[in-house]
Structure 1
Amino acid sequence: MLAVSGAGLVDVEFAHFDVGEAVEEGFTTYDDRPDFKTERDVIPTAGCITVVSRVQDHGARVVLALSDSPGPPAQGWELLGALSYRPVYGGRMEVWGPTSGPAVPTAWAVHLWGRAIAPGEPVLELDPGSTYRVQVWAHGRGESAERFDAALREGGDAPYEGLESYVIVFTPAGRQEPPRPQSSATRLERSTARHGKIPLNMRG
């Protein structure tokens, strides 16, 4: 194991959450939207991996890891999906809900790879000069929707935390030219690009 984030709790909204790179100043911004019409539970877009949940709204536990030996993080975890990923910004991976923002530390540790992963921010620094193979592992999905519905039928509050947990494992797979921020444009260059010509008050 090369690196492991803290154990976080993310607000799953509209039955999904995102794991993606922080957009840093100066980089070309990608705004690809995931295709929810696909049957896949793990949907890649530029700079982001969207994970689809079986429950509409709840809190999922999430851990990010960098490993040179991918495989199940513990007994009872299922492989939800595998894909290739290449950084498009600076490589800082974060977890966030669609409208609620970044994940927060969980209340309890998550037991993975034979040890307790302490509550903390689920943030992982990737090398932007590397490409990665990603495995998304899940726990609790098999009965999460049924447990949620049963609680509602019994007249109780719908469970928020503990229905599903996820571990996203990044494994170095190759090299790429690291993404680099664009040079900062001058005021003249920005204005010329916007209007198509040099403004009168800036002409020499």
Structure 2
Amino acid sequence: MGEAVVEGFEPYEEGPDFTSERVVLSSAGCIRIVSRVQDHEARVALALSESPGVPGGEGWELLDSVSYRPVYGGLLEVWGPTSGAASPAASPMEVWGQAVAPGEPVLELDPGSTYRVQVWAKGRHDSAERFDAALRAGTDAPQQGLESYVIVFTSDGDQESPRPRPATTRLERSTARLGKPPLNMRG
């Protein structure tokens, strides 16, 4: 999941540390979850909470808790690693004993806040084994329902809201890139 880049902001090129062996990777403008199954559709619910807590539902495990600070405008979007933007679920998802209605896979954060993020998972402990067993049995491996995630954002501080860079002219951009104005713009 990543923050939508807002026009006027410099895109961050910082990537996650995939060598860390962590399941949840946080970097500028992005939170990644390393799945145990390569080819499937995970169900994801995003939530804002007043305080982090322990879920009341069976089968949910806390994967990790990471820090996050908005770097653009605060609009988070769920993305697949190769499939692009996520689609709303076809049916409700049960989260901690409550049905969560399908909705757009986005969450609007306050760009003036920092967040503690808890990532909860269900079905992950044996998802790879269930996927492999279906392949060995010659049946179609399940594409859905192998893993579900709830990502809970809790405000834990303030920051200065990120601001877009000032607008620049073509001459200023060219001069910055080339070190001097293009020939046709020299005075």
Q: Which category describes the TM-score, using the shorter chain as reference length?
A: over 0.9
Cα distance, 1:203 vs. partner? Answer: 3.8
Which residue in 2 is equivalent to 1:177?
Answer: 160
TM-score by length of 1: 0.86
What secondary structure, in the 3-state scheme, does the structure 1 residue paired with 2:10 have? coil
**What code does the residue aligned with 2:127 have?**
S
Q: Aligned equivalents of 1:193 and 1:46: distance in 2? A: 24
Q: Aligned equivalents of 1:121 and 1:74: distance in 2? A: 25
Gaps of 5+ in 1: 1-18
Q: Aligned equivalents of 1:112 and 1:50: distance in 2? A: 20
What secondary structure, in the 3-state scheme, does the structure 2 residue paired with 1:190 have? helix
Q: Aligned equivalents of 2:84 and 2:145: distance in 1? A: 20
Cα distance, 1:108 vs. partner? Answer: 1.4
1:50 correspondence with 2:32: yes
Which residue in 1 is equivalent to 2:90?
Answer: 107
User: How many positions carry a matched residue from both structures?
Assistant: 186
**What code does the residue aligned with 1:142 have?**
H
Q: Aligned equivalents of 2:183 and 2:24: distance in 1? A: 52
Cα deviation code 1:155-188 (max 9, x no counterpart): 1000000000001100000000110000110122
2:16 to 13, 17, 34: 34
Backbone CA RMSD of aligned residues: 1.4
Cα distance, 1:36 vs. partner? Answer: 1.9
Gaps of 5+ in 2: none
Cα distance, 1:112 vs. partner? Answer: 2.3
CA contact (8 A) 2:15 2:28 kept: no
Identity %: 72
Structure 1 stretches of 4+ with a deviation exceeding 4 A read none
CA contact (8 A) 2:113 2:156 kept: yes
1:81 correspondence with 2:64: yes
Cα deviation code 1:52-108 (max 9, x no counterpart): 111111000001100012224441210000011111110001110122111101121
TM-score by length of 2: 0.94
**What code does the residue aligned with 1:144 have?**
S
Which residue in 2 is equivalent to 1:22?
Answer: 4
Cα distance, 1:34 vs. partner? Answer: 2.1
Q: Aligned equivalents of 2:182 and 2:137: distance in 1? A: 69
1:152 correspondence with 2:98: no
Which shows bigger deviation, 190-199 or 78-87? 190-199
